[in-house]
Amino acid sequence: MAKAKTTVFFCQECGHESVKWLGQCPGCKQWNTFVEEPVVGGKGNSAHKKHTTGSDHNPVSLKEVIMSDDERCSTKMIELDRVLGGGIVHGSLTLVGGDPGIGKSTLLLQMCRNIADSEEKILYISGEESLKQIKIRAERIGKFSDSLLLLCETDLAVIEEVIKKIKPKVVIIDSIQTMFSEDVSSAPGSVSQVRESTGILLKIAKGSGVSIFIVGHVTKEGTVAGPRVLEHMVDTVLYFEGDRHASYRILRAVKNRFGSTNEIGVFEMRKEGLVEVLNPSEYMLSGKPDGASGSVVACSMEGSRPILLEIQALVSRTNFGFPKRQATGTDFNRVNLLMAVLEKRLQLQIADCDAYVNIAGGLKVMEPALDLGIVLALISSFKNKPISDHVMAFGEIGLSGEVRAVSQVEQRVLEAKKLGFTTCILPHASMESLKKIKEIGDIQLIGLKSVQDALKFLS
């Protein structure tokens, strides 16, 4: 008897299912996100098949759950371990997203090489490349042990059997958009196939204790292609950011059930692969011009890590009726807000000026602690007065022009001292908390209460 085919509409954002097309999704309230896909009835959803009740399905008391010290496996990459929260958790499902060519496969292949050196079986499954293509990339990275096993397959039924047979420690799926299940008739990469494939991999990871990494392509908006429910199903979501034509790469966790979502890892792409940048502050400040106006060093916190970066500003009279504003690496609206504060509180005539703000090095930072650095850079460029290369600034600016306190002041000041800065400009409200800290030493601390004090500093 032939299978009964029907058509179902799925929301690309949240995965909501409907029997007809809807302009607005009732689940996530987004517009024009429904796509039509055929669904085959009969076998049902393989990710939700019924199992016989056994001892593994009996509820247990919270006190009976035993935690061991070997719940995590180190990737032997300090930056990657930091973003993961201390290493790979056994039985976890991790999604790695990023633009094409950014280095996702290279990063995971290097991780496989490090883990395979400990004689643990690693299974790398590719649905996009042949074995010879993977071999070419592997030879560029370095030598691999025999513990790394390769498989070119897209059928999840075959993949599940292989995993049960060889019992690897870590499995890489490259990529989730190429995987398919025979229980779903739509093409690989469709909403229903991606959701079904992720459900099957989640069942494998939780049932067998295998750690699975899945690679996901991103859309033009920078989010992982497929339904947004995909990100809700996995344990960890990592985004690999950066310009593919530049050498830097930023690995950021946007979801992590086993660690912080504020940590980042910094890598540099070289011909031999990705190299960890253990001191991002020194890397971001390399090439900073000496004695140039509009250039200020500020400090941003990424999780527990302070990162010093250069803020560049260029303010000049416009030749057009409407001045142009541009911000690269920071919030454009925040820059407009700060310029309005300077116009109102300091009576600086910058409303008819073109203004450009850039975070050098390619980092994207939205922390309010950069406000003071942006304000100093704008004033320095407008008045054409350079700021000393040994000065570092941080602080949040309010609409009244006040300089407000920020968190983790001690770490920011100590990072500046470690890199040789002699003066630190910070909120006056944070001065009291630094008086009892002996490690600060003889670094000069200048506390500002308002943007008027910042203008006096540059006078």
Q: Provide the CATH number for the domain formed by 72-278 in this structure.
A: 3.40.50.300
* Domains in the chain: boundaries: 1-42, 72-278, 283-458
And the tokens for 331? 């919030």
Question: Which positions ≥6 away from 56 have C-beta within 8 Å?
Answer: none
pLDDT for the residue numbered 51 = 46
Q: What kind of architecture, by CATH, is found in domain 283-458?
A: 2-Layer Sandwich (3.30)
Q: Name residues of the chain where pLDDT drops below 70.
A: 1-5, 39-57, 67-70, 219-228, 244-245
pLDDT for the residue numbered 68 = 67
Distance (Å, whole) CA 356 – CA 98 = 28
Looking up tokens 């004033």 gives: 379
Q: pTM to 2 decimals?
A: 0.76
pLDDT for the residue numbered 227 = 58
pLDDT for the residue numbered 391 = 95
pLDDT for the residue numbered 91 = 92
Question: Three-state secondary structure along the chain?
Answer: CCCCEEEEEEECCCCCEECCCCCECCCCCCECCEEEEEEECCCCCHHHCCCCCCHHHCCCCHHHCCCCCCCEECCCCHHHHHHHCCCEECCCEEEEEECCCCCHHHHHHHHHHHHHCCCCCEEEEECCCCHHHHHHHHHHHCCCCCCEEEEECCEHHHHHHHHHHHCCCEEEEECHHHCECCCCCCCCCCHHHHHHHHHHHHHHHHHHCCEEEEEECECCCCCECCCCHHHHHCCEEEEEECCCCCCEEEEEEEEECCCCCCCEEEEEEECCEEEECCCHHHHHHCCCCCCCCCEEEEEEEECCEEEEEEEEEEEEECCCCCCCEEEECCCHHHHHHHHHHHHHHCCCCCCCEEEEEEECCCCCCCCHHHHHHHHHHHHHHHHCCCCCCCEEECCEECCCCEEECCCCHHHHHHHHHHCCCCEEEEEHHHCHHHCCCHHHCCCEEEEECEHHHHHHHHC
